[in-house]
Amino acid sequence: MSRHVLVLSGPNLAALGSREPEIYGTLTLAELESQVLAEAAALGLEATCRQTDDEAELIGWLHEAAAAGWDVVLNPAAFTHYSYAVGDACAHLAGMGSRLVEVHLSNPASREAFRHTSVVARSATGTIAGFGAGSYLLALRALASLTG
Ligand code: DQA
């Protein structure tokens, strides 16, 4: 049975393609997600992609993954920097034994000061940032490389 990975994208990421292309590139979310699904299949993982602008919906999905024992690739977008509720849901997910990889298209550490804080990072197995869609693909490879 292949491992299930939930690939979650937070607020404003549905606008990829037209949103600040000099920072986030020109790939649409649909194109990014089709790369994610292809990479997951090649790695023998079963991935599901979802995006929301809604904090409560994102928290619900993190709890769903925690209950089901799924690993999660999460781009929390702006929630990264201030949502203690998303951070706590990530802590719960990790506490339940799921792996969490935090991803960002850009490298928040090289941008404005408010982006230098992540309230999610403490619960992540690891963080991959700065490689565009490649951050998501590298996260899948990292998960696939972990045993157990
Ligand atoms: C982002 C970085 C965040 O600072 C920003 O709020 C986003 C996208 C990224 O993927 O680079 O919405 O998470």
| pLDDT tens for each residue of 41-92 | 999 999 999 999 999 999 999 999 999 999 999 999 999 999 999 999 999 9
Is 116 noted as a catalytic residue in this protein?
A: no
Q: Where are the domains of the chain?
A: 3-145
Which of 4, 81, 82, 104 is catalytic? The answer is 104
Among 53, 104, 112, say which to mutate for ligand 1: greatest number of ligand atoms within 8 Å of CB: 104
Fold category of 3-145 in CATH: Rossmann fold (3.40.50)
Half-sphere exposure of 89 (CA within 13 A, CB side): 20
The minimum-distance atom of ligand 1 relative to the CA of 129 is 11
The candidate with the shortest Cα–Cα distance to 100, out of 110, 82, 87, 109, is: 87
pTM (whole model) above 0.95: yes
Q: Report how far ligand 1's centroid is from the alpha carbon of 104 (Å).
A: 6
Is 24 noted as a catalytic residue in this protein?
A: yes
The candidate with the shortest Cα–Cα distance to 106, out of 94, 114, 93, 115, is: 115
Which of 24, 81, 116, 136 is catalytic? The answer is 24
Protein residues with CB under 6 Å of any ligand 1 atom: 12, 75, 77-78, 80, 104-106, 108, 115
Over 70: is that where the pLDDT of 1 sits? Answer: no
Q: Report how far ligand 1's centroid is from the alpha carbon of 76 (Å).
A: 7
pLDDT band at 147 (very low <50, low <70, confident <90, very high): confident
Q: Give every CB contact of residue 105 below 8 A, 6+ residues apart in sequence.
A: 16, 23, 24, 25, 75, 129, 130, 131, 132, 133, 135
